DNA sequence: GTCTATATAAGGATAGAC
DNA sequence: GTCTATCCTTATATAGAC
């Protein structure tokens, strides 16, 4: 299959994402990105307006995918336990589909939100929180989830545990992403105590 | 009480830490640090050898405190549930005592470990992991903790949930750090399901 | 201990040839 | 679409006066 136009651009963006993820956005230079792409830094500006524009594209398509998948979860099975599990699965699938973007977001969100251009990250964060909260609160209302813990606290603890897996999780045949999702769900819902 | 010598230096370091935490190490300039301290950038070099040296001091004293507190936990009560709780408390106390250093570590560990000078961060990470693993594995051996979940996975999930609280947790009278520690322990050990 | 002044390097970005 | 060449700005760091 022949390469479409835009393929080259996509590959530049992909290797830029890898660099941003590994070193951080601020510490990655346009010269390094160009090196990785096998061109000179000036040539990058034929494809992209700026370094910020590259980050923007990477993060935007990441958030778009995330939004789509979360919406699909809310349209699916409505049992709280299933729904929480589906949210975890969706998140881990986004991690798998956009590992570099996930890492950029997790590492550099503080830095990025200070740049006007990336103000939309705050909104996105609130949307994600709202999705989780609606699931947790429905679970409490239905009597499936404990009511003695603050839903917002629960959300943040679970969110960080799940998303930060981008830093360490490498799926294997013996321990695939589906297994990690099940273990997360079971840890959060059932806990790791053998007896109570 | 009069200010001791070194106090000025400590205050510069503290405001540098705040900047590093907020913007990231790489995106923080020595001019900003100097501004914050009310001096010119050149004058910083009377107190510190380099920007890296500042980061090094901040991170080193953070890790030192962490090590001390973890050691104290391992010398204390040996019941698995208590011990896990104590580990969470110790971690959250370190977050409280070194919020900026914690954030620097969490956000910039990828970037820092690529700098030769900060190679010791890998060792420190392994030590922390070993501490948690010993507690988890003892709990499994004593039949208090489930044996169907990989201890290393459990460690990473709990670690990220606990440490990342630095990004959002602000203690209040109604919800102090001790409460967060208890909620973490209860979430991890008992889970959030009301019935099974 | 801080300032002035500046060396030196690296950064993002642009213009125009090819 | 990439290269050469370079502009301009910003960065870390230093030297020596005060």
The nucleotide lying nearest A44 (C-alpha to C1') is: D2
Q: Taking CA atoms, what residue in B is nearest to A29? A: B26
Res. A195: pLDDT tops 80: no
pLDDT at A5: 55
Residues A53-59, mean pLDDT to the nearest whole number? 98
Contact yes or no for B189 and A193 at CB 8 A? yes
The DSSP call for residue A4 is P
Q: Which residues of A touch B196 (CB under 8 A)?
A: 190
Q: Answer yes or no: do B189 and A191 touch at CB < 8 A.
A: yes
A86 in Cβ contact with A185 (< 8 Å): no
Q: What is the mean pLDDT of residues B168-185?
A: 98
What residue has its CA nearest to the C1' of C2? B43
- Please tell me the predicted confidence (pLDDT) of residue B4: 56
Residues of A in contact with B175 (CB under 8 A): 150
Separation of alpha carbons A31 and A28, rounded Å: 8
Q: Which two tokens stand for residue A113?
A: 């939100």
Distance CA B50, CA B35 (A): 16
**Mind listing the pLDDT tens digit for each residue in A76-121?**
998 999 999 999 999 999 999 999 999 999 999 999 999 999 999 9
Residues of B in contact with A168 (CB under 8 A): 156
- Work out the mean pLDDT of chain A and round it to a whole number: 96
User: What is the distance in angstroms between the Cα of A141 and the nearest Cα belonging to chain B?
Assistant: 11
Question: What whole-number percentage of chain A has pLDDT above 90?
Answer: 95
Q: Which residue is nearest to nucleotide C10 (CA to C1')?
A: A29
B117 sits within 7 Å of strand D by its CB: no
Nearest Cα residue in chain A from B180: A153
> Residue B5: which pLDDT band, with cuts at 50, 70 and 90?
low
pLDDT of residue A2: 43
Q: What is the pLDDT of residues A143-182, one digit of tens each?
A: 999 999 999 999 999 999 999 999 999 999 999 999 999 9
Confidence of residue A4 (pLDDT cuts 50, 70, 90): low
- Report CA-CA distances (Å) from B196 to A81, A139, A158, B118, B193: 11, 14, 20, 46, 7
Whether the CB-CB separation of B63 and B156 falls below 8 Å is answered with no
């Amino acid at each position: 299959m022949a390469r479409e136009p835009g393929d080259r651009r996509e590959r530049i963006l992909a290797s830029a994402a890898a660099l941003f993820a590994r070193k951080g956005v601020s510490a990655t230079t346009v010269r390094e990105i160009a090196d990785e792409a096998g061109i000179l830094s000036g040539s990058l500006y034929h494809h992209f307006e700026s370094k910020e524009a590259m980050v923007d594209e990477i993060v935007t398509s990441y958030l778009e995918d995330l939004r789509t998948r979360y919406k699909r979860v809310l349209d699916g099975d409505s049992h709280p336990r299933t729904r929480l599990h589906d949210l975890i699965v969706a998140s881990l699938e986004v991690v798998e589909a956009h590992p570099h973007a996930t890492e950029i977001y997790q590492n550099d969100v503080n830095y990025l939100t200070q740049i006007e251009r990336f103000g939309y990250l705050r909104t996105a964060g609130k949307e994600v929180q709202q999705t989780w909260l609606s699931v947790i609160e429905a679970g409490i209302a239905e009597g499936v989830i404990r009511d003695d813990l603050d839903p917002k606290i629960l959300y943040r603890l679970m969110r960080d545990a799940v998303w930060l897996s981008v830093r360490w999780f490498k799926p294997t045949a013996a321990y695939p992403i589906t297994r990690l999702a099940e273990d997360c769900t079971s840890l959060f819902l059932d806990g790791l105590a053998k007896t109570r």
